[in-house]
Amino acid sequence: MQLDSKNATVGGVICDENGDWIFGYNQYLGKYSIFYVELWGILEGLKFIQRRGHDKVIIQSDNLEVVKDILGSVSTASNLVFIR
């Protein structure tokens, strides 16, 4: 995210169970908060994985707020569409 303009891109890396690179992705989003950019990146990665027929994943994020909200949504009904 470019802090002065708030323009954001999202991206990620998909690896196999051995940690070997399978593919990467990125996408320009526009003006979003860091929180939503992190969620969008996870959502996009999950969509790519699902299209390839995988049903078990490990998600890694360095954003503690996002991780807490995702983990908290398991036991509560989240109001955020991205998490649902």
The reported pLDDT for the residue numbered 54 is 81
Q: Where are the domains of the chain?
A: 7-73
**CATH class, 7-73 region:** alpha beta
Confidence (pTM): 0.73
pLDDT of residue 66: 87
- Tens of pLDDT, residue by residue over 4-62, are 777 888 888 888 888 888 889 888 988 888 888 888 888 888 888 889 888 788 888 88
Give CA–CA dist 58/65, Å, rounded: 17
Contact status, residue 25 vs residue 11, Cβ threshold 8 Å: yes
DSSP-derived secondary structure letter, 61: -
As a whole number of angstroms, the distance between CA 73 and CA 76 comes to 5
- The structure tokens listed for 42 are 């996870």
pLDDT reported for residue 81: 65
pLDDT the model gives residue 56: 81
